[in-house]
Each structure stands twice: as C-alpha cells, then as structure tokens.
Amino acid sequence: MKKYNRKIQLKFRENLFGIRAALSDVSNCLRLGFTQLAYGRNVHTTIKKINRCGDEVLTEAPTGNLHLRNRQPSAALFPPLIPVVDLSKPDSKHQIIKACEEFGFFKVINHGVPMELISRLESEATEFFSLPLCEKEKTGQPKPYGYGNKRIGSNGDVGWVEYLLLTANQDPNLVTENPESFSVVRCLFSQGCFEYYMAAVKKMACEILEMVADGLKIQPRDALSKLMMDEQSDSVFRLNHYPPCPDVLQSLNGDVIGFGEHTDPQIISVLRSNNTSGLQISLRDGSWISVPPDHYSFFVNVGDSLQVMTNGWFKSVKHRVMANSVKSRLSMIYFCGPPLSEKIAPLPCLMRGDQQSLYKEFTWFEYKRFAYTSRDGSWISVPPDQYSFFVNVGDSLQCEARVMANSVKSRLSMIYFCGPPLSEKIAPLPCLMRGDQQSLYKEFTWFEYKRFAYTSRLADNRLMHFEKIAAS
Ligand SMILES: C=C1C[C@]23C[C@@]1(O)CC[C@H]2[C@@]12CC[C@H](O)[C@@](C)(C(=O)O1)[C@H]2[C@@H]3C(=O)O
Ligand SMILES: O=C(O)CCC(=O)C(=O)O
Ligand SMILES: [Fe+2]
C-alpha cells in the first residue's frame, strides 16, 4: 500500500483497454464496464528501450495490464510451502494427488529430463529473443502460433513479455491454422533442439498423468495420458521471455504484470524457467504467493480440463507472472492438450453415488474457443475526482470493483444503484445476438438473481451459476 493512496480498483476479466481508452471512448467504456463522466488525466506512459541490435523493444507501456497493480491480498505471513514431488519415490502418486487437491500446483524433482536438453534449448531461446525484432517477427504473428510481443492471445491482453507459441504436435498440419510458422521457427533453432526437449517433457507429463490415474483409481491407467499422447493431441509449447522491466516504469505504475492472472485451459502444463522469480500462484483463499525459482526443477499446473474431468476434485490453479526489474525471465512450458474433438466431461468412474456432474460436456475445441475469447484479470486504480461521477456496469459485463482502505484520508461515497423491477427477466438482448450466436446465460428474474447475489460472498463469481457453459 506504500506510495499508493487511491481507493477504487477495478478488476477486468475483460482486460482489453487501458484507462486512457476508458476515459475517451464510449464503446470501450462499455466493454470495460466502467466509465468516468468527465475527462480524466491521461495515464499513458512511454518508455524507450533499445536492444543491442538497435531496435526499440517493448517501447511503450501498453495501455492495459502494465498499469495494473498487484493489490490482491498479499501472501500470508508464513506462506505454505509449495509441494515438492520426487518422481523417483514410490509414494509420488499420493504426493501428486494431495498437491493437486490442495494447490493445483507442484514442483517436480528427479524428473528424468536431461539437463543438457534443457540448457541447450534455453540458450538457443535466449539467442532467439536477442535477435532484432524484424527477425523475430519473420516467424509470423501469433495466429495463434508464432512470435508475439506484449499482446497475449487475441483479446488485447497485454503484458511485459515476448513469446514464441508453437503446436507441440509432430505434424503441425493436423492442428495448426498457420503451420508455416512452425517450420520457420525450426530453421532458427538447431536440429532436434525442440523435438528432444519436448519428447522428454511429454514423457514426464505422461508419467505424471498415469500417476494421477493410479492415485484416483481411474481405469485404465492411461485414461488421461492417452489424450496427450494421441497423434491428434492439441498440445502447445511456449517460450516466454520477460525482459527486465525498467525501474522507472515500476515506480510509475506499481508492480508491472508480465503475464496477467489466468488458469491454463489444458489438462496439465509443465513449466520450467531460468533462475528468475516472477511466477505467482493464487491460493484457495485468494492470496498470492511467489514461486521460488528453481533452475533444476519443473512446475506442474492443473488446467481447467483436468478440473472438469475430476468434477472439481482438482482445481485449476490461477497464476500470473510479475515483471522483474533486474533479470530476464525465460520460461518454457508444455501444455498437454487433448485432441480437438475430444469430449471433456467428468470421468464416470470418479462420480460417487448420486454425485451430480458439475459441468456440461463440451469438446476441447469448444472449450478452447471459449477460453481464448475470455480475458485475464488484474486490478487498476481509479484516480479520485471530486467533480465527476463514475458509472459502473453491473454483472452483465463482469467488471469487478473493490475499495482499498486509505491510511490518511476518510473516503465518503454516494452511489445510486439502477435496478430493474423485481419481476423483470434478465437475459441476453435478442438484438445483440449475432447470427447463430448462443446465449451464454440462462434466463432469470431480477428477483431470483438478487436473492442469489445477496446470499453469496463478495468475491464469488455469481454469474457462473447462470452460465450455460459450466454450471457449478
Ligand atoms: C489471454 C489469453 C491467452 C491465452 C488465451 C487467453 O484468451 C486465455 C488463456 C491463455 C492461454 C494460457 C495458457 C497458454 O499459454 C495459452 C497458449 C493457452 O492455451 O491459453 C494461452 C493463450 C494464448 O496465449 O493465446
Ligand atoms: O512464463 C511463465 O512463467 C508462465 C506463463 C504462463 O502462465 C503461460 O504461458 O500460460
Ligand atoms: Fe499459464
């Protein structure tokens, strides 16, 4: 809270635009779900940074997440230790199950991936990221595969990061919309460099998923692993490079986000990074803890698909990366995805007695499309202004707001909440549905929603109960 006394913060699930856009463009305001009825200060920041080839890299602080501050409840005084699973131990499957239940995240040692493979790919990746921007851009824009800089995904999310996103499938033509990007990238790295690394990590991921199946008594043992071993599997490989973030930007904007908070949509993700901090995971109570970097280990994230397949027994872990002002962070992540046509639903053998399925069945293709059109979430501060009003769009646009206490001044606010009649049905407006677009929400009356909202907790994602995709 130091050097920081503004009070309202907004969290954008739809994190597309920066505050400058929010103050000047009505349609953007609607997308943000929040606007100020007056002209505000422009908080856009430009930082020039020249790499050794003379390119300007990450020159302008993107007007989105980079301004967003990390003000969620911080780590507890004595944060829990991140579980460590020793794959060489006979009881590792039990450790894995416990870690997946409690954290959705664990560290793996004695993983069997040769250090030479790791170091070789890591040093070639470092070399790649130090190429002039125009060379890196030759690998193609991320559509979804290729080289990306600052912009993450297709929704305008931004971060202090550049990356290479590739299909992990041996035959890129099977799953990629732009298979050519893969061959361009391959030419820039030495022969076999990706393939050997990916094969070793894939083997480890397969063992982990077999241990999960064993631990949960899922039959056959390869019920989960076969999804990522399938020749049509839609697994993804990613190299992320987070350049050191200039102090000046950090001090102007508070903590700068490298990769905004999100869960990985796949089954599991296997991450390895150089010895640089930045990765944080969110605990069940909503607090964030930093993951101490470890050059020799891998980290495993439970993804959304495994959450669904275990009917919520395991929870996918929310995580993010904060920029580091001193060191570059380089991470290499293998995301284990099923084939696009695979149906994702709770495994029947895990349903006890009359337990209900918490999720509707959907294909990986459908879920991925859904995940790729939603956005990550971070918080920004709203500069106070005694002469203006602020307008908050309600749950329909999912802009969350919170108020932080101020150590110096009292805050007094007056709010008029515009509610419909109690009997009014709340549902997507037919005139806004394009073509064969499906309604994302079940219809409910304002009375029903209000009753529900008033009995849920502040931070609950209440609208989830009305979503058609994943009812909880
Ligand atoms: C903002 C986004 C980037 C992402 C697609 C998404 O809309 C939400 C999920 C993101 C994620 C996280 C895990 C992987 O890095 C990734 C490739 C994926 O499958 O889902 C990214 C997506 C991306 O960078 O395009
Ligand atoms: O780069 C990292 O350490 C994590 C990035 C991440 O979460 C992702 O690419 O999905
Ligand atoms: Fe991730």
Q: What are phi and psi of 171, to 5 degrees?
A: -110, 95
Q: What is the pLDDT of residues 334-387, one digit of tens each?
A: 999 999 999 999 999 999 888 899 999 999 999 998 888 765 554 555 667 778
pLDDT number for residue 285: 86
User: Closest Cα to residue 200, out of 168, 234, 233, 176?
Assistant: 168
Q: What is the pLDDT of residues 15-55, one digit of tens each?
A: 222 222 222 233 333 333 443 333 222 222 323 333 333 33
Ligand 1 atom 13: residue of nearest CA: 264
Tokens standing for residue 438? 């499906």
Distance 270 CA to ligand 2 centre (A): 10
pLDDT classification of 241: cutoffs 50, 70, 90:
very high
pLDDT classification of 138: cutoffs 50, 70, 90:
confident
SS3 content of the chain, % helix, strand, coil (to 5): 30, 25, 50
Ligand 2 contact via 71 beta carbon (within 6 Å) = no
Q: What is the pLDDT of residues 160-176, one digit of tens each?
A: 999 999 989 877 676 66
Q: What SS3 class is residue 150?
A: strand
pLDDT number for residue 29: 34
Q: How large is the average pLDDT for residues 61-76?
A: 38
Q: What SS3 class is residue 367?
A: helix
* Rounded-to-integer distance, Cα 128 and Cα 122, Å: 10
Does the model's pTM come out above 0.90? no
Report which ligand 2 atom has the smallest distance to the Cα of 242: 1
All domains of the chain, ordered by start, with CATH? 1-50+382-418 (no CATH), 84-371 (2.60.120.330), 421-472 (no CATH)
CA distances (Å), 281 to each of 7, 286, 322, in order?
A: 25, 9, 11
Distance 394 CA to ligand 2 centre (A): 31
* Rounded-to-integer distance, Cα 333 and Cα 344, Å: 22
Q: Identify the residue whose tokens are 């929040």.
A: 34
Ligand 1 contact via 369 beta carbon (within 6 Å) = no
Cβ density class 182-217: b for 16+ within 10 Å, e for less: beebbebbeeebbebbbebbbebbbbbbbbbbbbbe
Ligand 1 contact via 320 beta carbon (within 6 Å) = no
Residues annotated as catalytic (active site), given as ranges: 329
Evaluate if residue 437 carries a pLDDT over 90.
no
Report which ligand 1 atom has the smallest distance to the Cα of 238: 15
* Rounded-to-integer distance, Cα 236 and Cα 334, Å: 6
Q: What is the pLDDT of residues 414-423, one digit of tens each?
A: 888 888 999 8
Contacts of 215 (CB under 8 A, 6+ apart): 93, 94, 96, 97
Q: How large is the average pLDDT for residues 247-261?
A: 77
pLDDT classification of 65: cutoffs 50, 70, 90:
very low
Tokens standing for residue 146? 């290729």
pLDDT number for residue 48: 31
Distance 235 CA to ligand 1 centre (A): 12
Distance 208 CA to ligand 2 centre (A): 20
Report which ligand 2 atom has the smallest distance to the Cα of 269: 10
* Rounded-to-integer distance, Cα 197 and Cα 378, Å: 33
Q: Identify the residue whose tokens are 């969110």.
A: 282
Q: What SS3 class is residue 332?
A: strand
CB 178 within 8 A of CB 164: no
User: Closest Cα to residue 372, out of 172, 64, 144, 89?
Assistant: 144
Write down the ipTM of this complex: 0.98
CB 85 within 8 A of CB 211: no
Q: How large is the average pLDDT for residues 401-408?
A: 65
Mutate to test the pocket of ligand 2, among 129, 321, 324, 327 (most ligand atoms within 8 A of CB): 321
- Give the closest ligand to the alpha carbon of residue 259: 2
Ligand 2 atom 2: residue of nearest CA: 331
Ligand 2 contact via 167 beta carbon (within 6 Å) = no
Q: What is the pLDDT of residues 127-137, one digit of tens each?
A: 999 999 999 98
- How do beta strands 105-109 and 84-86 pair? parallel
Axis-axis angle for helices 193-215, 115-129 (nearest 10)? 120
pLDDT number for residue 461: 61
Distance 407 CA to ligand 3 centre (A): 35
Q: What SS3 class is residue 375?
A: coil
